[in-house]
Structure formats: structure tokens, C-alpha cells
């Protein structure tokens, strides 16, 4: 394991773009979903403005005044499109399985903190058969404010009973990195949805995948 990670007590993982390299499928699903609203989206706009945010927040922008039930129904509609697209392709980010095994063996506490809805978290963690590695799972239905607000990462560290300063977050999105840093946590940035140079320089590490930090 990388030396900069060995003195930490907990690893907290974002999901989309970190546990799975799936951002292109989310973009395709969102393009299909937005047709009913007469809107289009570019890959660049998704990567810089939407990645890391919750689908519920986007739905509220698309339909101001929508009821909570309508927001959740539309959110599930978009995510079902995504799951249908990705189901045949779901695979862990390169090196993830070995890294999780290594971290678990070392006694590291681990959590998932994702902007996804519960159904997507279940789809990913159970689809990859990795749920048993994690001591806590926090999704967007469990917080009031999504990333870049620090709430989701603070909730994860609280569930792990580990101080934020002793946590490392694995993130790929700018909103998520801001969230983790605002929570007082170090960040390892994966350049899956963004280019390496687009990740901020004031983070602990930048990696392409988990193989780079398994040794």
C-alpha cells in the first residue's frame, strides 16, 4: 500500500467513477432521460458541473415545485435507464478488488459515500459482490445536502467512528473532492471522469486506478 495511506484509519469511497469506471453510461442515460424535458447535455458539462451531484437535485432544477414523490419517481426513472445500460458491462475499477482485500487485511475501516440513490448502490455493491468489505454505506437518500456539501463524508466518518482527519476519501469528481476537503479529509483523486491535470493539485495523490497503490 502507498506510504501516504498507511497512517490513516479509514478509507471512504465515492462510487461512480471510483468503484466502477462508469461515467460514460451515466452520461448516456442522462441524455436519454433529458429528452422528455427538451434538453441536451454535453459530456464536458456533465463532468464539470453535474458529476458528484445527486439526481434529485437535478430533477428539482428541471421541475421546480415537484413533490417529493415526483422527484424520487423521476430520479428512479433516470437511474433505471442507467442500470439497464450498464448491467451487462458492470466491472470494478482496475485494481479495486486487490486494494479492498489489502485494506481489509490491514484492519482499515471502509465506507462508501455516494451521491447515487439506494437502488444504484445496491446494484453496484451487490453486482460486484463487494458489500462485505464496507463497514458503512451512505447514499444520497441519507443526507439533506449533496456534494460539494461535506455532510455525506462527515456522516460516513461518524458511522465509522473515525475522526475526519484520519480518513482518506477516494473521489473522481470536483464536487466530491470539495466535499471531502470541506469535511477535513485527505483525498486521493482518480482521473476516470476527468483528465489528470483537471484534478486539483492540493490533494494527497492522483491515480488512474487502484493498481498504482496496491504495492
Q: What are phi and psi of 124, to 5 degrees?
A: -80, -55
- Alpha carbon separation from 122 to 10, 19, 112, 115, 215 (Å, rounded): 22, 13, 11, 13, 29
Number of alpha carbons in the 13 Å side-chain half-sphere of residue 134: 26
Q: Which residues are catalytic?
A: 14, 16
**Could you tell me which residues come within 8 angstroms of residue 13 by beta carbon, excluding any fewer than 6 positions away?**
19, 110, 111, 112, 113, 134, 169, 170
Q: Which H/E stretch holds residue 84?
A: helix 68-86
d(Cα 36, Cα 60) in Å, to the nearest integer?
15
Tally of residues, the chain:
215
Amino acid at each position: 500500500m502507498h506510504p501516504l495511506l498507511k497512517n490513516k484509519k479509514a478509507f471512504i469511497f465515492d462510487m461512480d467513477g471510483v468503484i466502477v469506471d462508469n461515467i460514460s453510461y451515466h452520461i448516456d442515460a442522462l441524455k436519454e432521460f433529458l429528452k422528455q424535458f427538451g434538453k441536451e447535455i454535453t459530456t464536458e458539462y456533465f463532468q464539470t458541473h453535474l458529476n458528484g451531484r445527486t439526481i434529485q437535485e437535478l430533477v428539482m432544477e428541471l421541475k421546480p415545485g415537484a413533490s417529493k414523490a415526483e422527484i424520487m419517481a423521476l430520479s428512479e426513472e433516470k437511474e433505471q435507464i442507467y442500470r439497464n445500460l450498464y448491467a451487462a458491462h458492470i466491472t470494478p475499477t482496475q485494481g479495486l478488488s486487490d486494494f479492498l482485500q489489502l485494506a481489509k487485511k490491514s484492519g482499515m475501516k471502509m465506507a462508501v459515500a455516494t451521491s447515487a440513490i439506494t437502488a444504484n448502490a445496491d446494484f453496484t455493491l451487490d453486482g460486484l459482490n463487494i458489500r462485505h468489505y464496507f463497514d458503512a454505506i451512505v447514499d444520497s437518500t441519507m443526507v439533506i445536502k449533496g456534494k460539494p456539501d461535506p455532510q455525506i463524508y462527515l456522516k460516513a466518518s461518524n458511522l465509522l467512528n473515525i475522526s475526519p482527519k484520519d480518513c482518506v476519501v477516494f473521489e473522481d469528481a470536483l464536487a466530491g473532492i470539495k466535499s471531502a476537503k470541506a469535511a477535513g479529509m485527505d483525498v486521493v483523486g482518480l482521473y476516470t471522469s476527468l483528465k489528470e491535470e483537471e484534478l486539483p493539485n492540493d490533494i494527497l495523490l492522483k491515480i488512474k486506478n487502484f493498481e498504482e497503490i496496491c504495492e
